[in-house]
Structure 1
Amino acid sequence: MKKNLLSAAVKGALGFTAAAIMVPAMPAFAQQDAEMVEEVIVTGSRIKRQDLESVTPLTSIGAEEFKISGNLNIEQKLAELPQTIPSFGPSSNNPGDGTARVDLRGLGATRTVVLVNGRRYIPSTQSGIVDLNSIPSTLIRSVDVITGGASAVYGSDALAGVVNFQMVDDFEGVQMTSLYDVTEDGDGAKRNIDLTIGGNFAEGRGNATVYASWTDRDAVFQADRDFSRNTWEEGDTDGDGVNDSLVPGGSASIPGAIAFLGRGNNITFDPDGTSRLFQDPEDRFNYAPANYLQLPQERFLVSAFTHYDLTDKVTAYGEMAFSHNEVPTELAPTPATTDVQVNPNTPFFDAAFQQLLKDRNVANGLNENAPSTVRVTRRMEENGSRQSVDNRDAFRILTGFRGDINDDWSFDAYYSYSNLERINQLNNDVAASRFRQAILVTDDGTQCQDTSNGCVPLNIWGEGNISQEAIDFINVGATNTTSITQEVISASVSGVLATIPTADEPIGVVVGLEHRDDESSSRPDSFLSSGDVLGFNAGEATVGGYTAMEVFAEMNVPLISGRKGIESLSLWGAARYSDYSNIGGVTSFATAVNYAPIDMVKFRAGYQESVRAPNVSELYLGSSNGFPGATDPCAEGNATPDTDLDLCAAMAGVPAGSFEQTNTQIEGIFGGNPELKEESSSTITFGAVIEPMDGLDIAIDYYDIEIEDAISVFGGGVNNTLDLCYNEFKDINSPYCQAISRYSDGTVNVVTALNANIGLIETRGIDFNINYGTDLNFGIEGASYLSIGFNSSYLLQYDETPVADLASRKDECAGNFGITCGSPRPEFNWNTRASWQTGPLTVSALVRYIDGTDDEAKGDGVQLVVPSIDEEYYLDLSLGYAVTESFDLNFGIKNVLDTEPTRLGDSQEQANTFPSTYDLLGPRYFLSASYRFE
């Protein structure tokens, strides 16, 4: 029976990938030979051999690490590495787009290339980022992380490095695995079921492996945890003008509505329509509870791998992958902020407010009963929370041939096609035009003055006063569609040349060609593209693409071996010329020297010059609006000694400091720029690997990366643009000042910050790693094995210069966090895992350390309530037991110490902290099981 099931499974797998195998061979232009990459650069068979032989700093994560740590989502495991800065993940609600990412060295996910089996994988965004949700974790053989750059080897995007997933593609048998994970509070459950079927065929000349997986993750809201259920901000509780504690805060967009009638005269309304002055911060709206702390997710994955030896020298291979990911995000109800016309005689107003509007009309030379224009904001609670549901369907098929030309030379050629379709549904938004139409009502309040479209009067003046009929009239949803395709045709030839007389090994060579075609389009529906929305970011279509034709070569030259004082000495080099349809020809190159004076000590040093071409999003992104945290230097209490108050008055139309900044977020307009040019970088690495005894490896590496013409938003962002205008350049005609527009009351309306080649990024640091393993003479059956791994990274520098012409202005972010620096960049991170294995039992512990960081404003002498984030320790424990040769159980507890994040005020990302950096949900318990049929 088992044989019949296995036979059927194998036949199904063959049928599933037959299309990939049977695609005719095409003229191929390749990246790099996968086997040569494994031998020289990317991976070896054991972790220590990888670390010892790599020409650049490398860390490898084995399949066992995912098994004993209970990580369903790959990005969470990668985020634990000291070489990464956590990027989008399960808690990325706002910002967030449903993807999971990896960010090496904190240089941005767009500067990290993600590969599967040494080849590019499915791009999930128009910026080319790979969604790690689409990679099957159970099939991972190892994950190899190369930091320090790799563009000469892998092409554009690899300025920070490469993450290469080596997958199991030769499985035999049937294996079922499942996992259940839940928090100590009994919420946030994760469920996973995997099925892997594979086997050999044609008398061992081929193998087919098919994998299917289902994952489900429950939501956790910010209301479900003490530290996140309130919106906190820095406040002055003793009235001395200095912030001294965290106080409940929130948004000035409140359910009772605010009419902005001038400084000190902002009017809000009680449910009965009574008007009164807005009390700040007592009246602010707590928007936190409705936001996700853990995003729900449902995921389906299907993958297939097959290979078949056509002859003794030629193998055909194929890969197929399909993934469906549904990940919603949820925000507080729409903060509807806009200018509206109101009827002073509206019966929804009390007499005092009616008279205030009439007096205002007269003062402006109007009839007292004329419609009055008022800037208002209203939290549309009656409309429900805003929801954004991302559905991504990704597909990839790859077919190739590899083989031997002769005893010294081999080839590899493949074609891959990837497609992703994204449907983004937005629910519970408000149509701006209908909002304004429904507010202007007749004197008796029974109907709209403009009755078109079935208008229903909208009473926003007081919490809970909006009727369901009015909600139905203004409520709007939107659907955005995105399509992304990537085609890669590649071929390479690898082999050996002559052996230098002083060396034992021949010169190794790889040469090849690659052609890549990237196309994508993202089309918002009519509401978003027209800007007729108040709660979500309006945007225009993004359509574009480019092609790249590349030629590359690599050479590894063993120079000397087996001599006194020179156990081995080799020189490695790589070069790549790329012709892009959008920017023209660019060149990358890299070189490295490996020197071992004795067998147990090895030194390596490398230098690389790389480029990164702008992606579709950076080039062609349709203009859209966003709301980042920012400070207006011209608002009351925000000026510094450097602020040009006269310039503030000239641009605002009112004296500086005569108006309040009512929200910590300021609207920005963001979009692409077809005139962008490539980024260029230089990378220096050098290090040493020492094996003082059997089972002990010590590696230390230094890296120095400099990126010029870095692509980012103009001025470095909304906050930087405001700062540069009023505190640095102080010229109304400067492009930074021209990017700022204001309302008539002086407050900032919008800052235009399109993409630009803005300046310079510099980072350098040291990685220090230790691996130790030894046999012990005790345990089950009198023997056991102990392994200890220590990985650490010390950040010496991370500086961003947002304007190349203003070199003196640097944002120094090493050891800091904040509005400009973003997520914390700890100076020292480390983790260590100790595992003890005896017989069928494995016990393991992982300790992670995140160094403390400072608010970037601390160095400016600003009085801060929370000037620093505390250092954090996390402890994870796990126990595995092989019940039989076919049945394994794993149990674990993550965050045993119940480490909570430092609660922040103004300088936060979301949920009063940085959710991707710190654990939010407390201890988690997981149980996984695996059963294998041979």
Structure 2
Amino acid sequence: MKLKRNYLFGTTVLAGILAVSAPAWAQAQQTAAEAADATQVDEIVVTGSRIRRDPVTAPTPLIQVSRETLLTTGQNTVIDYLATIPALMNSQVPSDTTAGVLNAGGLSLPNLRSLGSGRTLTLVDGRRHVGSPQGTLAVDVDTIPRLLIESVEIVTGGAASVYGADAVSGVLNFKLRKDFEGLEIDARWAQLNDGGQDSKRISVLAGKNLFDDRLNVYAFGEYEQLDEVLAADIDWLQGGWGLVGRDADTAAAAYDGVTDALLYKDRRTLQLLRWGQVTLANNYQPSALNNPNTIPTGQCTTTSITSASCFGVAPGRTYVFDGLNARIADFGNWVQQTGTNRAVNVGGDGENPNVIFNVDSTLPKSENARFQVGGNFKITPNINLYAEAKYVDETTNLATGYSFGDVYISDTLNAGNSMQILSTSAYTTRTDNAFLPANLAAAIRANTTPVYGPATAGAPGAQTGTTAAPFARYSAWLLDRPQTNDKQLQRYVVGLNGSAGDLGFVKNIDWDLGYTYGRVDNKNVERGLDIERFSYAMDAVRDASGNIVCRVQQLTANGGTVTSRNPNVPGTLNSQSAVVQNCKPLNVFGLGNQSEEALQYVRAQLTIDQVNEQHDALGTVSGQLWDFWGAGPIGVALGAEYRKEYTEGTGRSRSLGTTYAQLNSGADFLPASYETKEAFAELSIPLMRDSFLGEYAELSGSYRYSDFSTFGGNDVYGVNLVYRPIRDIAFKTSFNTSVRAPTLSETNSPQTQTFLQFNDPCATVNIQNFADRTKAANRIVNCAALAQQLGLTFNFQDPTAANAYRPEYGSSVAGRNGGNPNLQPEESESFTFSTVLQPRFIPNFSLVLDYYEITIDKVIAAVSAQTAAENCVNGPSLNTSACQTLTRTGVNDPATPRDDRFLLVDFLQSSINYAKRNVRGLDFTSNYRFDTQDMLGRNWGVFQHSVNGSWLIEQKNFNNIENPNDFTELSSTLFYPRTRLTSTLTWQTPFEPLRVTWVADWQTAQDIVQRRDFVQNADSRPAEYLDTKNFMRNDFSVRYQVRDDLTLTGTVQNAFDSEQARWLGATLYSNFDPYGRRYSISLNYRPW
């Protein structure tokens, strides 16, 4: 209703002015008609409307990007440039860290208003294009031939009633060149990262007019190679910068004057290493109750050797490997001072957390070939036949993390049988493991943990004795998990268009009837760890001859049997079982000690064949009706569209069979489809032209009815008003509605396995250190309610309390991704108000201000399990919809260590209909051209300056269905700068073949911790680390026209090597530039 009120206000202001001029319309009719003839402007179809019109009177906010800009920008891809436009700043570009998402590596998906690529409709010449990610409509714009692009028109307001329901946030329309004749060759070499990785591309476009220019044919071809970029290749990540905890606060004193975390270089983590570390069972001394930096009660009990609380990384208790030997780890010159698990140290041994936790390809290795042919044939002067065919073959190779696991080492485990598999990432072995270094095996067998008495208010607990604890835990990143996507995209378009002149009272009729077919075939191959085989291979022993064999081979050598540890094939194994016969002993203790044959034995592979298919038939007709009062004829457009979307993904079950693997295992994506039949209409009514109250005014409206085979019928509409009082200024306002049906991916995706490194929002220390004290208070109440539901009681307020909740997650938590068949369509409203200034007293200057509001109800969103866990407890009450996606243990057994209860053990990451999402902001664009010869009488060249920016007033997510007033504000947080702008200054030098361009991409600081929260806990971090600081990247390009047919362009991107704030640590934020200073050179040759 708020948007409707805003629109009524906007239209009332304009309509009130217009109404006064009604008596003058008839008198002005003849004069207006004569003026119209004298100032006739070519009318065209612009994106946002299907009615031919003067582009100046386009009814919706419009950003236009020319072919010239795309070719000279210096950006590596089209989407890389589009993402510099603030309205598109969170678009998915190939260099985003998307590799960890199955089948998403290397895709280029526009995302208007940061509302998601699924709410941005991408068209090619006004027609739909098949989506690339499975079961979605999101278009990979890198598959659109770049040399064929004439311009990109971006409607930054809702356009669902004109183009389709998924145009919630707007439309990108790629307009291709028509009747191209000649030969154009474009070649480019570019650095992708200042570490030396690069890309190479060559593109060729040829066209010819035949039969007295009645027939035009063209052919396009492109070949491209891109190197892989890993986090380890990015120089500023190699430094290991990040915040390290050094103090914790008690519940009674959130501020104790000691800074809780400081910024350090050369951080290391010993939590998980490539091929492992071993930590002996240990116990921290209980600290005084007024010192929360350690734990006031003993943590490790001997009742369970798998208790996560027994294995906090600690000096003197953690071993690393040098070759085949083990030694006590070097913790460097500073160790994290908070909690029982001292997993971060400065200097010494360990992995760089900025690299080891960013093992996905930040830019995948790609090899791409793209081809398109097409033509236009004038059958008659008024009828044109058009056709095009496209084929794209893209192969992407990318890293998607490591397999991981914990191995519990104890001689009390499974004597005389195969070793137990505790979970998809937890295994067991004994100290007789043949690869376990002898000194480490001896240390495990002799290990004891201290027993402490209770702490007092001012003194730590005194040691009262020791307890034998002959067990340890091995924790490691294991096999790499590479992924290959081999994608073929086909798209075919055929149709007729033309003009029919006048038919009765309808004048200047234009029509178009076309059919589009698109198909994407993607073979995804993912490699990872065979859990069962790894369990057998790593549990190696020496046989009677002293040879190292798998324990299962030794136990079955003389006719014995052992228990199968594969839950998919329960029963027993013997010496003839394939997994036993083929077992190759695997040394897991130390990087580089693994034999290739053992690695091959434990590898698993998953192959999925995915299909997206689209059929689209579209017919439109437009024309002009009567001109009642001399303001111009009424415009009308009618159309109908039929569309079918189909998807499937097979092979997951077939390729894995009964294999028990640490992969994205699960069911196949069964064939799914839907059809939609749509009819639409558009009407534009000129209200006045050259009246004494203004130059021009127009009221227009659009309507679309859609009938989905899955969700039934719905209708949407749009209303627009344009008013130009004088030639210097114009006003535009619009109101649009939209109904977006869930995609096939959102409703039909099968549940597949995935893994999450979990930071428990209910951990007492996390609540105590949470910057937002309101949400921290909510967590205390809500976490207690969750625990009570499971029959558990913890103190969530005081980390020094004996019954504080102190979870220890040994490795990643296994969970599931999947669709939700119960989703309902989301509904949205959008409102825009625009002002266009072209003042005559400032020649060659223009300014456009576009205010926008978008509200989406029943918004469909998929949040991570981490976010769901936080949403579950952050609000004033439990968020049931979020809590229901998580499973926690409810074991209340005295033999189970306290900190192993209430752990997250399963989750489902799936889309649900949340309450709503609001976004509100102001886009601004200015252009100014300054010719020194005309203005100063001296030829110092021509300067062209443009600024394109966006002010994000608010972006709110209402993700609590039970409490519609509970929201999360994203504006001015990470990824969502309050203001972002791109400034482009081009100097056409007096030496005309030479042009220099400077592009500055600037954004305001984004809050990491909000200042109101910092006031309540002012020692949580140094004040200068509360936000990211303002960020600016500077690009420079030089273009030299060697001769009429040859152009050279050289570019340096991020010339001053700007990088994101070091205190952000390992996370790469795509709105900053992580790749440093890099160079490119391109050549454009047009021989004829």
Q: TM-score range by the shorter chain?
A: 0.7 to 0.9
CA shift for structure 1 position 860: 3.6
Q: Separation in 2 of the partners of 1:230 and 1:581?
A: 55
Q: What is the CA distance between 1:256 and its match in structure 2?
A: 2.2
Q: For residue 372 of structure 2, give the secondary structure of its aligned residue in structure 1.
A: strand
How far the C-alpha of 1:766 sits from its partner, in A, is 0.6
Deviation (angstroms), 1:261 = 3.2
Q: CA deviation at 1:695?
A: 2.0
The equivalent of 1:256 in structure 2 is 276
Shift of 1:705: 0.3
Q: Secondary structure at the match of 2:88?
A: coil
Aligned 8 A contact 1:114 1:164 in 2: yes
2:499 matched to which residue of 1?
404
Q: How does 1:919-930 map to 2 (within 5 A)?
A: 919-930=1073-1084
The answer to whether residue 588 in structure 2 is matched with residue 460 in structure 1 is yes
Q: Which residue of 2 aligns with 1:73?
A: 77
Instruction: Check 1:73–1:113 CA distance in 2 against 1; reply closer, same or farther (3 A cut).
Output: same
Q: Is the 8 A contact 1:556 1:572 kept in 2?
A: yes
Deviation, 1:931, is 1.6
From 590, 599, 602, give the equivalent of 2:727: 599
The residue type paired with residue 117 of structure 2 is A
Q: Is the 8 A contact 2:48 2:155 kept in 1?
A: no
CA shift, 1:187, in A, is 1.2
Q: What amino acid is aligned across from residue 614 of structure 1 in structure 2? A: P
Query: What is the aligned partner in structure 2 of residue 816 from structure 1?
Result: 973
The question of 1:155 aligning with 2:155 is answered: no
Q: Secondary structure at the match of 1:244?
A: strand
> Are residue 913 (structure 1) and residue 1088 (structure 2) matched?
no
> What is the aligned partner in structure 2 of residue 242 from structure 1?
260
Query: What is the aligned partner in structure 2 of residue 495 from structure 1?
Result: 623
Output aligned runs, 1:602-681, within 5 Å: 602-627=730-755, 631-639=759-767, 640-642=776-778, 643-644=780-781, 646-647=784-785, 649-650=787-788, 651=790, 655=794, 657-662=804-809, 667-681=814-828
Contact 1:152 1:576 (C-alpha < 8 Å) held by counterparts: yes
Q: Decide which of 637, 640, 651 is 1:510's aligned counterpart.
A: 637
Cα 1:831–1:665 change in 2 (3 A) is farther
Tell me the distance in 2 between the aligned counterparts of 1:542 and 1:664. Answer: 29
Aligned partner of residue 821 in structure 2, secondary structure: coil
One-letter identity of the residue aligned with 1:235:
V
Q: 2:281 aligned with 1:122, yes or no? A: no
Q: Once the two structures are aligned, what percentage of the paired residues are identical?
A: 24
- What secondary structure, in the 3-state scheme, does the structure 1 residue paired with 2:220 have? strand
SS of residue matched to 1:80: coil
Q: Distance in 2 between matches of 1:110 and 1:580?
A: 17
SS of 1:65 mapped into structure 2: helix
- Distance in 2, matches of 1:55 and 1:653, equals 60
The answer as to whether partners of 2:269 and 2:343 remain within 8 angstroms in 1 is: no
Which of 864, 868, 878 is the aligned partner of 2:1027? 868
**Can you list the C-alpha shifts for 1:537-564, whole angstroms capped at 9, x where unaligned?**
3343223111111000111111122211
Tell me which of 314, 328, 340 is aligned to 2:397: 328
- So what's the TM-score if we normalise by structure 1? 0.86
Could you tell me which amino acid in structure 1 is paired with residue 65 of structure 2? Answer: I
Q: Which amino acid aligns with 1:71?
A: Q
Structure 1: how far apart are the matches of 2:735 and 2:985? 34
Give the partner amino acid of 1:243: A
Conservation of the 8 A alpha-carbon contact between 2:308 and 2:810:
no
Deviation at 1:441, TM superposition (A): 5.3
Taking only aligned residues, the RMSD between alpha carbons, in angstroms, comes to 3.3
Match of 1:447 in 2: 550
2:922 to 750, 766, 772: 766
CA distance in 2, matches of 1:662, 1:622: 27
Partner of 1:707: 856
Report how far residue 346 of structure 1 moved: 4.2
Distance in 2 between the 1:467 and 1:636 partners?
A: 44
* Correspondence list, 1:122-201, <5 A: 122-125=130-133, 126-182=135-191, 185=194, 187-201=196-210
Cα distance in 1 between the residues matched to 2:213 and 2:1031? 52
Instruction: Confirm or deny: 8 A CA contact 2:100 2:401 kept in the other structure.
Output: no
User: Which is further off, 432-441 or 82-91?
Assistant: 432-441
CA contact (8 A) 2:51 2:622 kept: no
Q: How does 1:64-463 map to 2 (within 5 A)?
A: 64-93=68-97, 94-96=99-101, 97-98=104-105, 99-125=107-133, 126-182=135-191, 185=194, 187-229=196-238, 233-237=242-246, 242-246=260-264, 248-250=267-269, 252-254=271-273, 255-257=275-277, 260-266=306-312, 269-271=319-321, 272=325, 279-282=342-345, 285-286=351-352, 288=355, 290-336=359-405, 338-343=425-430, 346=433, 348=436, 350-354=441-445, 377-380=475-478, 383=479, 385-407=480-502, 408=507, 409-427=509-527, 429-440=528-539, 446-449=549-552, 450=562, 452=577, 453=579, 454-461=582-589
The CA distance in 2 between the partners of 1:589 and 1:412, in whole Å, is 22
Structure-2 separation of matches of 1:373 and 1:322: 59
Report the alpha carbon displacement of residue 311 of structure 1 after superposing the two structures with TM: 0.8
Structure 1 range deviating more: 678-687 or 439-448: 439-448
Residue 683 of structure 1 pairs with residue 683 of structure 2: no
Aligned to 1:793: 950
CA 1:568 to 1:787, structure 2 compared with 1: closer, same or farther past 3 Å?
same
Q: Secondary structure at the match of 1:294?
A: coil
1:430 positional shift: 0.7
CA contact 2:536–2:551 (8 Å) conserved in 1: yes
Worse overlay, 563-572 or 451-460: 451-460
Q: Which deviates more, 107-116 or 447-456?
A: 447-456
Tell me, in whole angstroms, the C-alpha distance in 1 between the residues paired with 2:644 and 2:1077.
45
CA gap of 1:180–1:467, structure 2 versus 1, over 3 A, is: closer
Letter in 1 for 2:694: I
1:186 Cα deviation (Å)?
6.5
Task: Judge conservation of contact 1:724–1:730 (CA < 8 Å) in 2.
Answer: no
Letter in 1 for 2:130: I
Give, in whole Å, the separation in 1 of the partners of 2:704 and 2:982: 36
Separation in 2, partners of 1:236, 1:652: 33
How far apart are residue 687 of structure 1 and its match? 1.4
Provide the secondary structure at the position in 2 that maps to 1:777: helix
Q: Match of 1:297, as an amino acid?
A: S
Distance of 2:641 and 2:888 partners within structure 1: 46
Q: Which amino acid in 1 is paired with 2:648?
A: S
Distance 1:153 1:191, change over 3 A: same
What pairs up with 1:831-870 in 2 under 5 angstroms?
A: 831-837=982-988, 838=990, 839-855=992-1008, 859-861=1012-1014, 863-864=1020-1021, 866-870=1025-1029
After TM superposition, give the deviation of residue 312 of structure 1 in Å.
1.4
Tell which deviates more after alignment, 862-871 or 508-517: 862-871
Other-structure match for 1:562: 690
What does residue 366 of structure 1 align with? none
What amino acid sits opposite 1:281 in the alignment?
A: V
Question: C-alpha separation between the residues in 1 aligned to 2:68 and 2:937?
Answer: 21
Aligned counterpart, 1:365: none
Rounded to whole Å, the distance in 2 between the matches of 1:535 and 1:357 is: 34
* Residue of structure 2 in register with 1:362 after alignment: none
**Which shifted more, 848-857 or 514-523?**
848-857
1:284 offset after TM fit, Å?
5.4
Deviations 1:103-161 (A, max 9, x none): 11000111101111111113101222111221122221111111121111110211011
Task: Report the Cα distance in structure 1 between the residues aligned to 2:614 and 2:590, rounded to whole angstroms.
Answer: 52
Query: Measured at CA, do residues 738 and 242 of structure 1 come closer, stay the same or move farther in structure 2, by a change above 3 Å?
Result: same
For 1:43 and 1:67, locate their aligned partners in 2 and report how far apart those are by CA, in whole Å: 30
Residue 224 to residue 356, structure 1, CA distance change in 2 (3 Å): same
One-letter identity of the residue aligned with 2:1087: F
The more displaced of 415-424 and 94-103 is 94-103
Asked whether the equivalents of residues 149 and 176 of structure 2 are also in contact (C-alpha less than 8 Å), the reply is yes
Q: What is the Cα deviation at residue 327 of structure 1?
A: 2.2
